């Protein structure tokens, strides 16, 4: 019995390669940290709606690697506010 495996198209390969190249270039760039410095906000004083808006802004405007700590902070505040 043969197992069907999804084939990855050349277009998918190209997209993944472009993403990997971009990430590699960004990691090697000396000015990377300066470009990705993001203001740390007081997430503990924001409403759930404010946290959602801030998360959406970060996701739309920044690279994933640059916002990890911010997303972690927002996530922690969501969890804290939901428990109340």
Q: Which of 9, 28, 32 is nearest to 20 (CA)?
A: 28
pLDDT, residue 6, reads 55
Per residue, what are the HEC states of 22-59?
HHHHHHHCCCHHHHCCCCCCCHHHCCHHHHHHHHHHHH
Q: For residue range 4-61, what is the model confidence (pLDDT) as tens digits?
A: 555 556 788 888 888 788 777 766 655 555 555 788 889 999 999 999 999 999 999 8
Q: Is the pTM of this model over 0.75?
A: no
User: Do residues 43 and 73 lie in contact, with contact meaning Cβ atoms separated by under 8 Å?
Assistant: yes
Query: Where is pLDDT greater, at 34 or 83?
Result: 83
pLDDT, residue 58, reads 93
pLDDT, residue 55, reads 94
């Amino acid at each position: 019995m043969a197992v069907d495996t999804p084939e990855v198209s050349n277009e998918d390969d190209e997209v993944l390669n472009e993403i990997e190249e971009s990430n590699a270039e960004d990691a090697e760039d000396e000015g990377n940290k300066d470009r990705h410095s993001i203001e740390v906000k007081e997430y503990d004083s924001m409403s759930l709606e404010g946290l959602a808006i801030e998360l959406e802004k970060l996701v739309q405007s920044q690279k994933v690697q640059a916002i990890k700590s911010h997303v972690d902070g927002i996530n922690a505040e969501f969890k804290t506010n939901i428990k109340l």
